[in-house]
Amino acid sequence: MISTVPNIPGEFVKDNAHLKEKVAALLKLESYKFPGAQPVSFGAEHLTEIEQEDYFVAEKSDGVRCLALLTVNERKEPEVYLFDRKNNFYVVRNFRFPIPGDPSFRKCLNNTIIDGEFVLDKEPDGRMQLRFLLFDCLCIESKVLVSRGLMSRLGYLKSDIIKPHHEMIKKNPHMLKYQPFLVEFKEQQFTYHLDVVFNEIIPKLKHGNDGLIFTAVNAPYMMGTCKKMLKWKPLNENSVDFKASLIFPGSSLPGVKDYTAKPKINLLVWQGDREYKVFDQLGITEEEWKEQFGKNPKYMDGKIIECNYDPEVQERLGLPSPWRFMRYRDDKLDGNFQSVVDNVLNSIRDAVSKEQLIEHMPTIKKAWTKRKEQSGEPQADGRQAKKPRQE
């Protein structure tokens, strides 16, 4: 499926210093930083890890990662502040996340931070529907949850945030037409049900998919790079966010560049601060350049672009590099840091195929069963496992 990546809804907030302070205060941070957990790339060594430890797995949507701060203003009106990795904030006013147990749905959640991603689904009738798929909860009503395990955090997310919202919509269906987006829980399975994700969930998706996300069940929420959150992609879906630097050839006039010609497109890796280092160049044909970028040839220069690794296309088209343009990453201020690029390269060199993952399922299931027997925990089938949240 060709994916259409959505824009974050809401009104852009120019002065967001007070919102950053609020997020930092709620999460007990000394200063603001984007608190979203960032996965590491899946390598062969992680086959052992997902065997030895309980993990959830979900499809990796081709969407926009976004956290949401749920607040109530001084006029008792709900406000949802959506914020991304570029530290941009967008406010959606009067979007209601009612507190649980209130049949009037008048009082809304305050001082709450949830994690998710926006996707643009193509419905059977051709309509495009924006959805906010939620998969974690960092804080609810000023209660910080990041030190708790995933099962506990998901318990709060599903029962105290998503469920009351859905009950409100069910009893007031007329509200749907005023909602700028729909809210849903992102379905997750225990890892030994990988076949369900591959064979049932992904084929039925209404949006793009570029892999899987594994999240450790018992690990706390780790702000920043999280080694207990693993990002698996098929080999040709492994991607890196680079900064593009265009070098156009000279024209027949001294000192004048020929902007009608295809430039050499250097791919730069972020070293921190404002420093970048040349890594490789973009693999692109003359025809592709003219068709996709020829009308505005200088636009790409300095932009952050996501490139996937595809050596098969490189060999077939005789390209100088296997790195292929996927899309602009206007949601990011910088490209991937050097260590992130190194992890992706290690993942490429140490790639695990879909077939290897599925072949490993019986081993994962056997190890999971043994852990449950030793701990005395009941054994569910692991599909959309339901477990009471732990206070």
d(CA 256, CA 372): 71
CA atoms within 13 A on the CB side of 314: 14
Residue 363 has a CB neighbour count (10 Å cut-off) of: 14
According to DSSP, the residues that pair with 216 across neighbouring strands are 55
Cβ neighbors of 18 (< 8 A, separation 6 or more) are none
Please indicate whether residue 366 is annotated as part of the active site.
Answer: no
Catalytic residue among 33, 60, 107, 177: 60
Burial class (CB in 10 A: 0-12, 13-18, 19+), 115: buried
Handedness of CA 41, 215, 19, 11 (dihedral sign): positive
SS3 52: helix
Contact 271, 289 (CB under 8 A): no
Sheet architecture: strand order including 37-41: 37-41, 224-232, 209-216, 55-61, 189-190
Own/partner pairs, 352-356, CB within 8 angstroms, 24+ separation: 352/42, 352/43, 352/44, 352/46, 352/47, 352/232, 353/234, 353/235, 354/198, 354/234, 356/47
Q: Catalytic positions, please?
A: 60
